[in-house]
Structure 1
Amino acid sequence: METSTEGVVADTGSPDVAADVPQTAGPTAAAVDPASETEPVAERVAIPPAALSPSRASDFMQCPLLYRFRVIDRLPEKPSEAATRGTLVHAVLERLFDAPATERTAPRARSLVPAQWDRLRETRPEVVELFADDPEGERLARWLGEAEQLVERWFTLEDPSRLEPAERELFVEAELDSGLRLRGIIDRVDVAPTGEVRIVDYKTGKAPRPEYAEGALFQMKFYALVVWRLKKVVPRRLQLVYLGSGDVLTYDPVPADLERVERKLLALWDAIRRATESGDWRPRPTKLCGWCDHQAHCPEFGGTPPPYPLPVRAAESGAGEQGRMGPD
């Protein structure tokens, strides 16, 4: 799970927030915790993108205008049950490793769900809105039960009593030779006694169909590139653990793979730079538009984007069309 505000250098002191809180940044150059977001959109101060995370790279490839709304305009987005459940499950799986290996059991993991939900409500009070229309707590109870089921399914896929992660929720950042900064949060890093590195990411949804596996691995290859540039070590394995369907997707990268990802990201960043300077952020309608919080501002739905808050420069001659990057 990876949650970055490109262009924000210091956020709240938490790597989780520093790496990816696109929709809830505050009114100054430093993003704030979503809980403190009270200012109207007009008072936010826009800043040009300064780094790239897997989430924001995916946003731009999906729809350049969505990237603009999240990174430059920083429009607020309502919390969703699915995303919040993912955050809760990730917190439980991270905290479970605080216990001795022999105590990392499914019942113990389930017992962590209520406390982590309380903690999430304290740090992100806006998630309480999800169940504001549930006075009897029936929907909340069902939702928490679904989170417990996802946590339990993990034990059918991995044995935490046999794992001693080198890192959990690891914030990573690297600057490429080109000057592009890449950043993100890795759910888990395992290091074998022989020094081989495995990068693990938990997904609370279902595994994609085989024809979409490459797109799913983009985030992992991104992380592998960052680790390679930081540590001079190519991770031995990338592992996606899909709790929603009980599948594990693995991939063993080689330097040539990561070099291709780096070239792709450089081209993507160049497209983002041109769009930032020209103010030309074009919507790209897809089936995902139905879940977008920004339809009221999107021309595809009859909306009008907010006034562009950054200086606009004339487009470079032959710059070409913006945002034509496809999935990896």
Structure 2
Amino acid sequence: MEQLGFDFGVQPRRLMKVTPARLSTFDDCPRRYRLAYVDRPTPQRTGPWAHSTLGAVVHNALRELFDLPAAERTSARAAALVGAHWKDAGFADAEQAAEYRRIAKEWVADYVETHDVGADPRGLERWVSAPTSGDGGHASMIVEGRADRIDERDGELVIVDYKTGRRTPDEAEARSSQALALYAVAAERTLRTPCRRVELHHVPTGTVAAAEHTDESLRRQLTRAEETATDVQDATDKLSAGGDPDELFPARTGRRCSWCDFRPSCPVGQAAAPAARSWELLAPTRVDAAGADRPGGDGGDAGSFRAE
């Protein structure tokens, strides 16, 4: 007997999985996106970068600190955790690495002294996920990612993202950050608690740049994410059908080519900008009277480390 069923002639909509890191990579340079997430085996990359090493160490130390009982979250313990997680990868030499190890210990110790670290976070390096769409209708994508820290204050969640780069973030950067907005949407769904506030904690200076999202501001970020995700999916599908990879994922050249992880595998990027040294994007240890950064050089801003 033939099985009865319903066929309305409508194919189910495929949900696109997106993370802030992937969206940002495609927006910055579609070629880099293809090299990182599409091509297999993964093409040759550069060696480690000192600023990424530094960011990873600080993130790991603060994550482990908040895993401890509140009474043990002292500045001395925070500094010790930097030492426990330290790596020398990417630094110019042992002397430079030792100097930044000392500085990183000062950063996290000062952070503990100047911020309230007594409350237990709702999440540490927590993976959050939510089906959603840019227009508020049927879900078109699943936004997901790993938030550095998720606090709960007065019955609402707060997204906390650590930064260790050269530039101190401000409220405008916190408000415009697509990553923070998507974390807020996904955290609210995952933890079933309202989330509107997002914060960038710049560990070197102790500065907190905060913004309060509205439904409308989150919707704008979701719409932007959906547009990028659609472009990614279209390019990937056409590549699978035999399309030209260089046309579908064009290189977007600029200063970033100097420190792109895939510079060894991208002749276009090599021609666009000179190679940066692996330590040039470090936050400076001091600034002299003329404003010259030492020893980090005059490289561009380096954000915090994140892997998704």
**Match for 2:232 among 261, 272, 277?**
272
**Match for 2:73 among 94, 100, 104?**
104
**1:174-185 to 2 correspondences below 5 Å:** 174-176=130-132, 177-185=138-146
1:150–1:204 CA contact under 8 A, matched in 2: no
**Match for 2:17 among 51, 54, 57?**
51
Once the two structures are TM-superposed, the CA of residue 145 in structure 1 deviates from its matched residue by: 1.2
Q: Which residue of 2 aligns with 1:147?
A: 104
Identical-residue share of aligned pairs (%): 30
| Counterparts of 1:293 and 1:228, CA distance in 2 | 33
| Counterparts of 1:236 and 1:212, CA distance in 2 | 15
Structure 1, unaligned stretches of length 5 or more?
1-48, 122-127, 304-328
1:175–1:181 CA contact under 8 A, matched in 2: yes
Q: Deviations over 1:222-280 (max 9, x none)?
A: 10121234455441411110113331111111211111111111111111112212331
Given the alignment of the two structures, is residue 172 of structure 1 paired with residue 128 of structure 2, yes or no?
Answer: yes
Q: Which residue of 1 aligns with 2:11?
A: none
Once the two structures are TM-superposed, the CA of residue 51 in structure 1 deviates from its matched residue by: 2.4
What secondary structure is seen at the aligned counterpart in 2 of 1:199? strand
Q: 1:129 to 1:152 in 2, by over 3 A?
A: closer
**1:1-328 to 2 correspondences below 5 Å:** 51-73=17-39, 74-75=42-43, 76-117=45-86, 129-130=89-90, 134=93, 137-160=94-117, 162-176=118-132, 177-192=138-153, 194-205=154-165, 206-208=167-169, 212=173, 214-215=175-176, 217-231=177-191, 233-278=193-238, 279=245, 280-296=248-264, 297-301=266-270
| Counterparts of 2:268 and 2:18, CA distance in 1 | 26
Q: Deviations over 1:102-135 (max 9, x none)?
A: 2211111111222223xxx6xxxxxx6536x74x
1:234–1:254 CA contact under 8 A, matched in 2: no
Once the two structures are TM-superposed, the CA of residue 141 in structure 1 deviates from its matched residue by: 1.5
1:207–1:247 CA contact under 8 A, matched in 2: yes
Indicate the structure (1 or 2) with the bigger Cα radius of gyration: 2
1:110–1:151 CA contact under 8 A, matched in 2: yes
Structure number with the higher strand fraction is: 2
Once the two structures are TM-superposed, the CA of residue 212 in structure 1 deviates from its matched residue by: 4.9
What secondary structure is seen at the aligned counterpart in 2 of 1:284? coil
TM-score, scaled relative to structure 1: 0.66
What secondary structure is seen at the aligned counterpart in 2 of 1:262? helix
Q: 1:178 to 1:236 in 2, by over 3 A?
A: closer
Structure number with greater CO (CA < 8 Å, separation at least 6) is 2
1:50–1:181 CA contact under 8 A, matched in 2: yes
Q: 1:77 to 1:157 in 2, by over 3 A?
A: farther
| Counterparts of 1:168 and 1:301, CA distance in 2 | 38
What secondary structure is seen at the aligned counterpart in 1 of 2:90? helix
Q: 1:178 to 1:211 in 2, by over 3 A?
A: closer
What secondary structure is seen at the aligned counterpart in 2 of 1:97? helix
Structure 2, unaligned stretches of length 5 or more?
1-14, 133-137, 239-244, 273-308
| Counterparts of 1:231 and 1:100, CA distance in 2 | 22
Q: 1:159 to 1:233 in 2, by over 3 A?
A: closer
Q: Deviations over 1:120-171 (max 9, x none)?
A: x6xxxxxx6536x74xx323312311221221231354121x3211211101
Structure 1's consecutive aligned runs of 4 or more residues displaced over 6 angstroms after TM superposition are none
Q: Which residue of 2 aligns with 1:315?
A: none
| Counterparts of 2:269 and 2:78, CA distance in 1 | 44
| Counterparts of 1:209 and 1:285, CA distance in 2 | 27
Aligned length: 240
What one-letter code is carried by the residue in structure 1 that aligns with 2:22?
R
1:65–1:283 CA contact under 8 A, matched in 2: yes
- The two structures, once aligned, show a CA RMSD in angstroms of 2.5
Once the two structures are TM-superposed, the CA of residue 188 in structure 1 deviates from its matched residue by: 1.1
Q: 1:295 to 1:95 in 2, by over 3 A?
A: closer
